């Protein structure tokens, strides 16, 4: 079981690093584009579309699982604090089941879209006409990693990370 947990952790960290890299790339190419436009009146073609289609998708979906694992997602606990302690953990596990269902649907539908994009050779409508299949693949990848993290939390409590996700410090 430790080997599986370690492998999932490594995949999750690689995905998170991809997310970090995407925000750095967004920052650098946008700054370069602004400077180039001001200095030499040249703009990078299709930069906005590429950022929107690839880099923003990578930024969001490659980091979801990691953020869930450290308990970093927004949590509304307005009503939860009024529940007795004996109900808090079952309530959190029930809500986690709903989150699992939500991300499983995103992963399955995202996979369908990805397969269809590869089958039909779907490309962007921008000047560069780059393939969209790899960008679409990031959606089911990130969602599936999040599903794995949620299942780990539901069945094992996930140690410190899961406790922080539960709000039990």
Look at the block and give the residue holding tokens 């959606």: 139
Give pTM, 2 decimals: 0.82
Mean pLDDT of the chain: 87
**What percent of the chain stands above pLDDT 90?**
56
- Interval 40-62: pLDDT, tens: 988 888 888 899 999 999 999 99
Look at the block and give the residue holding tokens 């030499």: 40
Instruction: In whole angstroms, give the CA distance from residue 160 to residue 150.
Output: 14
- Interval 100-141: pLDDT, tens: 999 999 999 999 999 999 999 999 888 888 899 999 999 999
Instruction: In whole angstroms, give the CA distance from residue 41 to residue 123.
Output: 28
pLDDT value, residue 6: 87
Cβ-contact 135, 53 below 8 angstroms: yes
Alpha helices in the chain (DSSP H): 2-40, 47-50, 56-61, 64-69, 85-120, 133-156, 159-166
Give residue limits of the domains in the chain: 2-166
Q: Residue 143 half-sphere exposure, CB side, CA atoms within 13 Å? A: 19
CA dihedral 18, 23, 25, 28 (to 10 degrees): -160
**What percent of the chain stands above pLDDT 70?**
92
């Amino acid at each position: 079981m430790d080997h599986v947990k370690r492998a999932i952790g490594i995949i999750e960290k690689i995905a998170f690093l991809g997310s970090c890299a995407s925000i750095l790339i967004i920052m650098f190419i946008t700054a370069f584009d602004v400077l180039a436009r001001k200095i030499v009146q040249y703009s990078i073609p299709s930069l906005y579309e590429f950022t929107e289609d690839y880099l923003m998708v990578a930024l969001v979906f490659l980091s979801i699982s990691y953020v869930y694992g450290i308990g970093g997602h927004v949590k509304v606990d307005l009503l939860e604090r009024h529940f007795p302690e004996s109900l808090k953990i079952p309530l959190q596990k029930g809500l986690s089941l709903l989150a699992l269902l939500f991300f499983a649907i995103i992963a399955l539908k995202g996979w369908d879209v990805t397969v269809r994009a590869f089958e039909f050779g779907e490309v962007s409508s921008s000047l560069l006409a780059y393939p969209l299949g790899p960008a679409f693949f990031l959606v089911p990848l990130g969602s599936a990693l999040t599903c794995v993290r949620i299942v780990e939390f539901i069945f094992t409590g996930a140690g410190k990370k899961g406790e922080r996700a539960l709000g039990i410090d």
